[in-house]
Structure formats: structure tokens, C-alpha cells
Amino acid sequence: MDSSNKTRYIAEARFLRAYFYFDLVRLFGNIPLVTKALDPTEYYQPQAKPEEVYKLIAEDRNSPSPTCRRPPTASFPRPITGV
């Protein structure tokens, strides 16, 4: 995979993770915080405090990729950060 595409995909995935965790923590409060792939034996995760979730959201939001600042193409729109 091209390294610029990989960087862009990682930044987009972090944006989406922050977006969805923001909705989850607002709706439910304490939620499991998963930041890595889990083995089936690790599926039960303790709930994290909302402060921990908001910290992860801030980290994801504050580390955008410079390649995501391009305007979206007409064929496949993407969220733009830093605008």
C-alpha cells in the first residue's frame, strides 16, 4: 500500500473513532474503551470513565493527517479536518 494512502486511511479511521466514541459517551456515559484489536478471550472489557474517553477523542482530533486537508473528490467525499 502507498504510504501516503496508509497515512490518510489511519487519519480517517481515527476521525471516525473519535466521532463514534463521542456519540457513545454522550448517550451512555461509561463505555468500554477499545483501542486495539481484541482476541476472543478479551471481549469483556471494563467500562472506562467519560474523562478517559474524552481524552482519547481529543488525541484523535488533535492528530490529523496533512493529507486529509485536501478537498473531497466528487466521486468519494470524505470529511475534511482543519477547515
Query: Residue 71 gets which letter from DSSP?
Result: P
Arithmetic mean of pLDDT, 15-25: 93
* 25-72 pLDDT tens trace: 999 989 999 989 989 999 999 999 999 999 999 998 877 655 555 555
**How far apart, in whole angstroms, are the C-alpha atoms of residue 81 and residue 65?**
8
Q: What does the block give as the cell for 65? A: 493527517
Q: pLDDT at position 83, please?
A: 47
* 71-81 pLDDT tens trace: 555 555 566 65
Of the candidates 17, 15, 13, the one whose C-alpha atom is nearest the C-alpha of residue 25 is: 17
